C-alpha cells in the first residue's frame, strides 16, 4: 500500500463513518481525538488501517491493562462464545468469577456484575438511598461517574451544572459538591447536611481530570465522617480497580468503603462492570427489595473474561512491573521536557499519571495539583494539541492528559515511546 493509498483508506472510512454515525464516533469522548481507524491491537501496541504502529498508553481508556488481546483472556472468551453466550440464568463460570473477585478485592462480601461503570454507579446510588432512606448525595468537583442524567455534571464556575443539552437541571438537584482533598470543606458539608446525605461517591484517585492522588488523611476523614453520619461511602474504582493494586484504591490507600464500583481493567478489555460491597447493603438486591437487572449481566463471555483476567492478575501479578515501567517512562518524559525546555508537568502514580504543560499562573516545576481549581491553572489546551502530534508520531494517548501503563509494556515500548515523544517535541518546539 503506498502512502497515498493508505491515507485514502483513512479518509474513506472517515467519510463513511460520518455518513452513518453521529460525528463519526460512537462515544462523545472520541469527538476530539484524532480520527485514526485501528485494525489491530496486540500487547502494548496498536496498528491503524494505514499500517502505522502506535505505542498505546490509552489502553482503550483503561481496560487493556493486560495489553491488547491477552492470549489467556482471548481464549477464555472464545471458548465462552462457543458455549452459548447468554443463558438468562445462572452458570458455573459466573460463580467462579464472583468468587475470584471477592478473593482478589478481599473487603467486599458480595458482588453483582454489570456491563458498564455508568450503570453500576446507578446501582450503588440506589442501594445507598434504599438503605438510608435519604435522598441527598455528595461528590467532588471534577470527578466523573457516568453519562446518565442524574450524575453527568459540568463543573463550571459555580460547579454542578448539567453536562449536556437535554439533561434537565433538576436531575442534579440532590447533589452537593465539595472540592477534592479539602478535609475542612468536607467537615463543613457534613456538619450542615450530614443527616441528609445518603452517599458520598469519590474517585479515590481523581483520574478523569488530572491524576490526583488523595492526600494523606483525606480518605480517612471521609471514612470517619460517613461512618459518624450513617452515610454510605462509595468508591468509584472504575479506573483504580485492579490497576493501583489487585484490591484497587481500597488496598492502595488502606481505606475500606461500604460499596465500590469497578469496570475497565476488571475483564481484560471485555465490557464488564461490578458493584461490590458489604452484605448488609448488597444483600438488598438478593431479597428483591432493591432492583438491579440486566440482560447481559454476567454473560458467559463476561464471566469468562473476569475469571481469565483475575487468574492472570493473581498468578502473575504485574504491579511491580507496571510501576517500574511507569517510573522510567515518567523520568524519560521529564528529561525530554528539560531537553526541549517545555514546562512538562507529570503527576499521579506510575500506573496512571497525568501529563500537562504548566500554565502562566500555575505553580511551576513539581508541586502537584491537588484539586480541580489547580488543574485549571495548567495549559490543558496546549497538551490536548500536543497529544494529536503524539498520535502523528506513533504514541497513542488521551487528549485529557492521562497515561495508562499496562502489564505488557516493556523496554522496547519505552525506548520507542521516548524516541517518538522526542520527535514530537522537536516538531512542536522547533528545538533539536
Ligand atoms: N466512573 C469512572 C471513574 C470512570 O472513569 C468511568 C468511565 N470513564 C465511569 C464511571 C463510567 O464507566 P463506563 O464508561 O463504563 O460507563
pLDDT computed for residue 363 by the predictor: 46
pLDDT computed for residue 362 by the predictor: 54
User: Can you tell me which atom of ligand 1 is nearest the CA of 121?
Assistant: 10
User: Can you tell me which atom of ligand 1 is nearest the CA of 117?
Assistant: 12
Mean pLDDT for 65-80 is: 98
- Distance from residue 231's CA to the centre of ligand 1 (Å): 23
Mean pLDDT for 94-107 is: 98
Of 30, 239, 270, 354, best ligand 1 pocket probe by most atoms within 8 Å of the beta carbon: 239
- Distance from residue 417's CA to the centre of ligand 1 (Å): 27
Of 63, 113, 117, 354, best ligand 1 pocket probe by most atoms within 8 Å of the beta carbon: 117
> Ligand 1: residues whose CB is within 6 Å?
61, 116-118, 121, 144-146, 203, 208, 236, 238-239, 263, 273
Q: How confident is the model at residue 85 (pLDDT cuts 50, 70, 90)?
A: confident
Per residue in 150-185, pLDDT (tens digit) is 999 999 765 679 999 999 989 999 999 999 999 999
Per residue in 18-60, pLDDT (tens digit) is 999 999 999 999 999 999 999 999 999 999 999 999 999 999 9
Where in the chain are the domains?
3-65+318-429, 71-315
For 212, how many CA atoms within 13 A lie in the half-sphere containing its CB? Answer: 27
- Distance from residue 281's CA to the centre of ligand 1 (Å): 22
Mean pLDDT for 257-286 is: 98
Active site positions, annotated: 144, 236, 264
pLDDT computed for residue 247 by the predictor: 98
Cα separation, 208 vs 344, whole angstroms: 19
Mean pLDDT for 268-274 is: 97
Enter the C-alpha cell of residue 287. 431479597
Residues facing residue 178 across a β-bridge:
140
User: Can you tell me which atom of ligand 1 is nearest the CA of 263?
Assistant: 15
Of 122, 263, 265, 302, best ligand 1 pocket probe by most atoms within 8 Å of the beta carbon: 263
DSSP string, 351-413: TEEEEEE--TTS--TTPPP-SHHHHTTSBHHHHHHHHHHHHHTTEE--TTSEEE--TT--HHH
Phi-psi region of 378 (alpha: psi -120 to 50; beta: other; left: phi over 0): beta
Q: How confident is the model at residue 6 (pLDDT cuts 50, 70, 90)?
A: confident
User: Can you tell me which atom of ligand 1 is nearest the CA of 143?
Assistant: 3
- Distance from residue 264's CA to the centre of ligand 1 (Å): 8
User: Can you tell me which atom of ligand 1 is nearest the CA of 208?
Assistant: 5
- Distance from residue 27's CA to the centre of ligand 1 (Å): 12
CA-wise closest residue to 13 among 47, 41, 50 = 50
> What residue owns the CA closest to ligand 1's atom 10?
145
14 within 8 A of 24, measured Cβ to Cβ: yes
Q: Which fold, 3-65+318-429?
A: 3.90.1150
> What residue owns the CA closest to ligand 1's atom 1?
145
Per residue in 388-406, pLDDT (tens digit) is 999 999 999 999 999 999 9
- Which residues neighbour 373 within 8 Å (Cβ) at sequence distance 6 or greater? 141, 179
- Distance from residue 342's CA to the centre of ligand 1 (Å): 32
pLDDT computed for residue 156 by the predictor: 78
CA-wise closest residue to 341 among 207, 244, 432, 221 = 432
- Distance from residue 146's CA to the centre of ligand 1 (Å): 5
b (16+ CB within 10 A) / e for 74-102:
bebbeebeeeeeeeeeebebbebbbebbe
- CA distances 1 to 6, 9, 49, 196, 389, Å, are 6, 10, 10, 64, 23
pLDDT computed for residue 360 by the predictor: 58
Does residue 416 have a pLDDT over 70? yes
Least confident of 81-85, 197-201, 361-365: 361-365
User: Can you tell me which atom of ligand 1 is nearest the CA of 29?
Assistant: 8
User: Can you tell me which atom of ligand 1 is nearest the CA of 115?
Assistant: 15
CATH assignment, 71-315: 3.40.640.10
* Run of H or E residues at 113: strand 110-114
Per residue in 343-390, pLDDT (tens digit) is 999 999 999 999 999 865 554 556 789 999 999 989 999 999 999 999
Cα separation, 347 vs 116, whole angstroms: 27
Q: What is the mean pLDDT of the chain?
A: 95
- Distance from residue 87's CA to the centre of ligand 1 (Å): 27
- Which residues neighbour 155 within 8 Å (Cβ) at sequence distance 6 or greater? 141, 142, 161, 177, 372
Of 65, 205, 208, best ligand 1 pocket probe by most atoms within 8 Å of the beta carbon: 208
Amino acid at each position: 500500500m503506498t502512502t497515498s493509498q493508505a491515507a485514502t483508506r483513512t479518509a474513506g472510512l472517515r467519510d463513511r463513518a460520518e455518513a452513518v454515525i453521529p460525528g463519526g464516533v460512537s462515544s462523545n469522548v472520541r469527538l476530539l481525538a484524532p480520527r485514526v481507524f485501528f485494525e489491530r491491537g496486540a500487547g502494548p501496541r496498536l496498528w491503524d488501517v494505514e499500517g502505522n504502529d502506535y505505542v498505546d498508553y490509552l489502553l482503550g481508556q483503561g481496560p487493556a491493562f493486560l495489553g491488547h488481546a491477552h492470549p489467556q483472556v482471548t481464549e477464555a472468551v472464545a471458548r465462552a462464545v462457543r458455549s452459548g453466550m447468554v443463558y438468562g440464568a445462572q452458570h458455573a463460570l459466573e460463580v467462579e468469577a464472583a468468587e475470584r473477585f471477592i478473593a482478589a478485592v478481599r473487603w467486599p462480601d458480595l458482588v453483582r456484575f454489570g456491563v458498564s461503570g455508568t450503570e453500576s454507579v446507578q446501582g450503588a446510588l440506589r442501594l445507598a438511598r434504599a438503605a438510608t432512606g435519604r435522598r441527598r448525595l455528595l461528590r467532588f468537583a471534577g470527578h466523573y461517574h457516568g453519562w446518565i442524567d442524574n450524575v453527568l455534571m459540568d463543573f463550571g464556575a459555580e460547579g454542578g451544572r448539567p453536562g449536556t443539552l437535554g439533561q434537565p437541571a433538576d436531575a442534579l438537584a440532590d447533589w452537593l459538591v465539595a472540592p477534592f482533598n479539602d478535609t475542612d470543606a468536607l467537615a463543613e458539608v457534613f456538619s450542615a447536611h450530614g443527616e441528609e446525605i445518603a452517599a458520598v461517591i469519590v474517585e479515590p484517585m481523581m483520574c478523569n481530570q488530572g491524576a490526583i492522588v488523595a492526600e494523606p488523611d483525606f480518605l480517612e476523614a471521609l471514612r470517619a465522617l460517613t461512618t459518624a453520619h450513617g452515610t454510605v461511602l462509595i468508591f468509584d474504582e472504575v479506573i483504580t480497580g485492579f490497576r493501583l493494586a489487585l484490591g484497587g484504591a481500597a488496598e492502595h490507600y488502606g481505606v475500606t468503603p461500604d460499596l465500590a464500583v469497578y469496570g475497565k481493567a476488571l475483564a481484560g478489555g471485555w465490557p464488564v462492570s461490578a458493584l461490590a460491597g458489604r452484605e448488609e447493603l448488597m444483600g438488598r438486591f438478593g431479597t428483591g427489595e432493591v432492583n438491579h437487572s440486566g440482560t447481559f449481566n454476567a454473560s458467559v463471555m463476561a464471566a469468562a473474561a473476569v475469571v481469565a483476567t483475575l487468574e492472570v492478575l493473581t498468578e502473575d501479578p504485574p504491579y511491580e512491573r507496571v510501576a517500574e515501567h511507569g517510573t522510567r517512562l515518567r523520568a524519560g518524559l521529564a528529561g525530554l521536557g528539560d531537553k526541549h525546555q517545555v514546562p512538562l508537568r507529570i503527576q499521579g502514580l506510575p500506573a496512571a499519571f497525568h501529563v500537562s504543560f504548566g500554565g502562566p499562573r500555575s505553580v511551576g516545576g513539581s508541586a502537584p495539583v491537588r484539586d480541580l481549581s489547580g488543574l485549571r491553572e495548567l495549559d490543558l489546551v496546549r497538551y490536548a494539541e500536543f497529544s494529536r502530534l503524539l498520535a502523528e508520531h506513533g504514541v497513542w494517548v488521551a487528549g485529557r492528559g492521562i497515561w495508562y501503563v499496562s502489564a505488557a509494556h516493556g523496554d522496547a515500548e519505552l525506548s520507542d515511546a521516548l524516541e517518538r515523544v522526542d520527535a514530537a517535541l522537536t516538531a512542536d518546539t522547533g528545538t533539536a
